[in-house]
Amino acid sequence: MPSIRLHYAAEFITHFEARHSSKPLKYTSCIDKLPEHPLLQLDQAGIAVTLNTDDPAIHRTTINDDYDVAVARWGYTLADLLRLERNSIAAAFISDKQRATLSERVNQGYTISQGQGL
């Protein structure tokens, strides 16, 4: 059962960014093992989370790597990934017009992807 802190975060905090393949997290031992990463617990508690990546040129990781981990390790589905994308769009510092355009493009992309597997 989620803690009172998770309930508070779900009610009062807009969203959390998650970079589960972040090299600094691995090097500093903040999170030693992927199963200990808080993204899944935060997401299951109803907190709006977004999946992000560090600078690919520096950390040699991409958003695709992060999505692959979410699917392979945590069992995320295409619908789950779309929800995370929508959380990202909602949290973005962009105009309402840009948000609507981006939402339409993301929804179209996921519609095309359905039935093609992950």
Provide the residue-wise pLDDT of the chain in tens; the chain has 118 residues.
456 666 666 666 666 666 555 444 444 444 445 566 778 888 888 888 888 877 777 777 788 888 888 899 889 999 999 999 999 999 999 999 999 999 999 999 999 988 776 5
Q: How many domains does the chain have?
A: 1
CB contact at 8 A, 70 and 80: yes
CA–CA dist 64, 58 (Å, integer): 16
Within-domain flag for 90: yes
Within-domain flag for 118: no
Model-level pTM? 0.74
User: What Rg value do the Cα atoms of the chain yield, rounded?
Assistant: 15
Orientation of helix 63-74 relative to helix 78-91, angle to 10°: 130
Within-domain flag for 82: yes
Domain that holds residue 46: 4-113
Which residues are CB-contacts of 70 (< 8 A; sequence separation ≥ 6)?
20, 39, 51, 76, 80, 81, 84
